[in-house]
Amino acid sequence: RKEVEQDPGPFNVPEGATVAFNCTYSNSASQSFFWYRQDCRKEPKLLMSVYSSGNEDGRFTAQLNRASQYISLLIRDSKLSDSATYLCVVNLASRGSYIPTFGRGTSLIVHP
């Protein structure tokens, strides 16, 4: 089983739709969790950190479920500009530090 797994998609949704992605992780000692956004041929950029209590930033909501070992990202009222690849990142404890491990990303295409 891969350490961090994501459905690669693509998720093809109309403008205004609500879409949700999940990301599962295998190491229960994982400490911190993030969602990054990557546009085509560009570097990843932080979208939001993920906390146990859940967090919201405008149209984006991230949740962490430690018991089931997954994180989720919900995007409401999708915009054309939300089209991108969404990468989940899990920091795994290793050799006295935390090593970031990326999922392969979920592709989102928002169409008119």
Partner 1 sequence: NAGVTQTPKFRILKIGQSMTLQCAQDMNHNYMYWYRQDPGMGLKLIYYSVGAGITDKGEVPNGYNVSRSTTEDFPLRLELAAPSQTSVYFCASSYWASDTQYFGPGTRLTVL
Footprint of partner 1 (CB under 8 A) = 4, 6, 8, 31-32, 34, 41-46, 49, 87, 89, 91, 95, 97-105
In degrees, rounded to 5, the angle at the alpha carbon of residue 85 between the alpha carbons of residues 51 and 32 is 20
Minimum distance, C-beta of residue 97 to partner 1, in the bound complex (Å): 5
Query: With respect to partner 1, which residue has the nearer C-beta, 43 or 112?
Result: 43
For residues 63 and 91, which CB has a smaller minimum distance to partner 1 in the complex?
91
The SS3 assignment for 33 reads strand
Burial of 7 (0-12, 13-18, 19+ CB in 10 A): middle
Residue nearer to partner 1 on the CB measure, 81 or 95: 95
CB of 3 to partner 1, least distance (A): 9
In this structure, the strands spanning 32-38 and 55-57 are unpaired
CB 80, min distance to partner 1, A: 22
**CB–CB of 90/4 below 8 Å?**
yes
